[in-house]
Chain A
Amino acid sequence: MRIGVFVCHCGSNIAGTVDCPRVVEAARGFPHVVYATDYTYLCAESGQDLIKTAIQEYSLDRVVVSSCSPKMHEETFRRAARQAGLNPYLVEMANIREQCSWIHSDKEAATRKAIDLVRKGVFKVSRDQELFPSFFKVNKDVLVIGGGIAGIQAALDAAQGGHRVTLVEKDQTIGGNMARLDKTFPTLDCSSCILTPRMVDVAVNESIELLAYHEVEEVKGYVGNFDVKIRRKATYVDWSKCTGCEECVGKCPARIYDKFNQGLGRTKAISLPFPQAVPKKVTIKKDFCHFFLKGKCRVCEKVCQFEAINFDDQDQIIERKVGAIVVATGYEAFDPIAYLEYGFGKYKDVITSLQYERMVSASGPTMGHIKRPSDGEEPKTIVFISCVGSRDRAKGRSYCSVACCMAMAKQAILTKEHIPDSTSYLFYIDIRAGGKGYEEFVDRAREEYGAQYVRGRVSKIYQKGKKLVVKGTDTLLGMPIEIEADLVVLAVGIAPPQDAPELAQKLNISYDQYGFFVESHPKLRPVETNTTGVFLAGACQAPMDIPASVAQGSAAAAKALGLLAKDELEASPIVASVEIKRCVGCFKCEAVCPFSAIQRQELRDGIMVSNVISTVCKGCGLCGVACPTGAIKVNGFTDEQILAEMEALLL
């Protein structure tokens, strides 16, 4: 056996705390080590060349690279080994950066620890065996979950790349929150004017299967071979017959909460969310329909000349096979009910910014007239409050929602356009306008539209006669300030949909404390997740505005296309395997496997044993721990290898 050890300085990242030449010295004394050296940057091309040359020159048959976390560069060094003709699984990494130099300051102790870590690597690598990846076929179809602007963009791009796309939207229409907006910053173009064409593109695109009013029920399988169960929620309307004429809506007697309009105004139990809805089909909300509640009515059925109403409709499960998944489930506006001090829910004239979008929109419940919900009067003094449900540790939301500063500036401009003799006061903590043309947009709001910015957070709102007393501070002057307002608009934060964690669990992706999905690297892999083949786009990953959501939609599609460009994918050989002779069929492994990679297999004599589906297995090793007989083990992490590492450390 001929082992080579390579110690990286990582500039001063490692060499600043660890005496690398001493580590090399020590390594030379470890069993089977025939060559050891150090280098400034092993990951650089010259560093890789150094490794390749050494493998050939010294006929190395095993390599230990002592540098950073394998998360970043294991792949790099394995590739180098392969290029030099060595089986890449005969390379081990000793992490002397994250696990050593970065977290210690005592150079002597750190050097000793680095030596230990390298010894551990040497002991392990000497037990390593050659491993060979397997290959599997890839399904070329793409699933997009969520039909907001991010999901729409991803679906259109993937379809353009020649793939069949299934777009699952839980609502009755695609469009997402952007459909609720009136005009959009920083250009003030009308939201539906730019969104509707995209929605129609989705509807007419033959490669896109649009499943609105559907939800993902279950996801099984793995990259290239996902098996997805999708629930079609009963609409009680035969969409193949419905023309969206809305005859029924006018006659329906059941008035209900209007989710699309965020509770401003009411809608009917049978309804279309908005005229440009795609698909333009009505649904019945069973929980509010008089017929379902009281057994009488069926008015819609009588008036529908297309005989589209079907009270016997049932939920249905359909199945699709796809190779990649883009998640674009967006956000929900933060519910400010937690801000009792602002009296939301108590005072009708305290509304959310999303409600205000609907109020300003010409297609909204007030036909674009800005009116106080309490008495329908036109407000003259309007107060906007930023960071409601954002940047607020006490309310459990520490993050900045990114888009609301700009949305607030936009709404002040729109207010002035609608009501020229009005004054808008905008309470802010900081104005976050870090996008192209954004700062200029805020300047316009202030200079051309007279937006009165006040630096301070409002503490309390209460009713005094017809007015709302708003108690704030001007922190720049150091003075409390009181405004008698006609209308108060709370710039609510961007919060993940309530069911986001549930979906994350189905997809086996991570989510943070708030419910935003976690990307695999915040800088370098912003649209990928830790589950290969599942990508993220839009506000479901972090608060973001439309330009960023669209960019991410395209990025996620590009990632999916890149993945699906191959006909076959390589499956890592670092997976579990069962030694059938030792398996007693207790299936403890099956119970603990988080990826459902364990199958029961019947032997010829009828005995049941465990079997690993290697393409599904992630090599997490839980099964190995659970197995009472040691029959199941993960390649590359066998008991023998782990014990060797322990021995090296305890030596």
Chain B
Amino acid sequence: MRLKGQTRTVDREFVAEVESEIDTAVAACYQCGKCTADCPLSFSFDYTPNQILRLMQLGQKEMVLRSESLWYCATCYTCTIRCPKEIDIAKLMSVLLIKARQEGYVADHKIRLAQETFVNSVARYGRIFEAGLVGTYNLKSGDLFNNADIGPRLLATGKLRFLPHRIKGRREIRKIFDRLRSSRKGKR
């Protein structure tokens, strides 16, 4: 089977891999669209949640992993609690997002950057350093005045720290990152 305009055909292996992670067969979906109907972010999706399911049913790995929707999903679980077929769509979206990142598909670089800046902050200090986080993100994204309208007023409240809080167990945190990295390498 081939969708018009697509070069790749069906990738059943990919589908099976994802299915084992979400613990449901995508064939259960009967395309009712209830997941899409109240998804707060679907207005920003290129494929609605039910279309993501449809693409999965047709084994369209590449179209799915390229989708912007994965990046704009807020993991709010509205879809999941509504699905008449008990498919955990929110989980599916996050499983796909991780796969997309692993395979080098990034539909929104800013979101990727924001996520990674966040994780780096954790890796470095053990906690989030908010002021630093916003600064780094704005610098790297080139969006220097992002949220600039609220920045000064925020500072005025005196809630933001100017220096990061470094936890004592920083080395333990680093080790988590390191061990994960080496175990991943070992698997490849």
Contacts and interface: CB of A to CB of B under 8 A. Distances in A.
A and B part of one assembly: yes
Interface in A386-411: 391-395
B41 to A, nearest CB: 10
A394 B33 contact: no
Nearest to A458: B37
If over half of B's interface residues share one DSSP class (helix, strand or loop), that class is named, otherwise mixed; here it is loop
Interface string A498-518: 000000000000000000000
A472 B35 CA distance: 9
A429 B30 contact: yes
Interface string A441-474: 0000000000000011111100000000001111
Nearest to B34: A457
B42, B47, B82, B84: which has the most chain A beta carbons within 10 Å? B84
A474 B48 CA distance: 11
Nearest to A477: B48
B39 interface: yes
A473 B84 contact: no
A29 interface: no
B129 to A, nearest CB: 38
Contacts of A392: 84
A473 B86 contact: no
Given A472-B33, A479-B48, A394 B39 contact: no
Contacts of A480: 36-39, 42-43, 48
B82 A341 contact: yes
B67 interface: no
B88 to A, nearest CB: 11
A478 interface: yes
B33 to A, nearest CB: 3
Contacts of B82: 341, 459-460
A471 B38 CA distance: 6
A1 B48 CA distance: 75
Contacts of B85: 393-394
B63 interface: no
Interface string B46-74: 01101100000000000000000000000
A393 B30 CA distance: 12
Contacts, number: 70
A532 interface: no
Main secondary structure of the interface of A (DSSP, over half): mixed
Contacts of A429: 30-32
Contacts of A455: 33
A478 B55 CA distance: 13
Given A393-B86, A478-B48, A459 B42 contact: no
B89 to A, nearest CB: 12
A473 B34 contact: yes
B51 to A, nearest CB: 5
Contact of B33 (A393, A395, A473): A473
B114 interface: no
Nearest to B35: A459
B131 interface: no
Chain B interface bracket (under 10, 10 to 19, 20 to 34, 35 or more)? 20 to 34
Given A473-B48, A478-B47, A459 B84 contact: no
A601 interface: no
B133 interface: no
Given A457-B32, A459-B37, A394 B50 contact: no
Contacts of B36: 456, 459, 473, 475, 478, 480
Contacts of B51: 478
Nearest to B39: A480
A475 B30 contact: no
A456 B83 contact: no
A394 B31 contact: no
A575 to B, nearest CB: 47
A395 B82 CA distance: 10
Q: Which residue, of B34, B84, B85, has the highest number of chain A Cβ atoms within 10 A? A: B34
Given A458-B37, A480-B39, A473 B83 contact: no
Contact of A457 (B37, B42, B47): B37
Nearest to B38: A459
A460 B38 contact: yes
Nearest to B78: A459
Nearest to A456: B33
Contacts of B37: 456-460, 471-473, 480-481
A203 B36 CA distance: 53
Interface in B79-112: 82-86
A393 to B, nearest CB: 5
A456 B37 CA distance: 8
A180 B43 CA distance: 42
A473 B86 CA distance: 18
A405 to B, nearest CB: 14
A399 to B, nearest CB: 12
A457 B33 contact: yes
A473 B36 CA distance: 6
Contacts of B86: 393-394
A479 B32 CA distance: 12
A149 B85 CA distance: 34
A391 B83 CA distance: 11
A474 B82 CA distance: 16
A395 B81 CA distance: 11
Given A394-B86, A460-B38, A473 B50 contact: yes
A460 B36 CA distance: 11
Interface of A: 341, 391-395, 429, 455-460, 471-475, 478-481
Given A394-B83, A459-B34, 15 more contacts: A341-B82, A394-B84, A429-B30, A429-B31, A456-B32, A456-B37, A459-B35, A459-B37, A459-B82, A460-B37, A471-B37, A475-B48, A480-B38, A480-B39, A481-B37
5 contacts: A341-B82, A394-B83, A394-B84, A456-B37, A457-B33
Closest 6 CB pairs of A and B: A473-B33, A459-B37, A456-B33, A459-B38, A475-B33, A457-B32
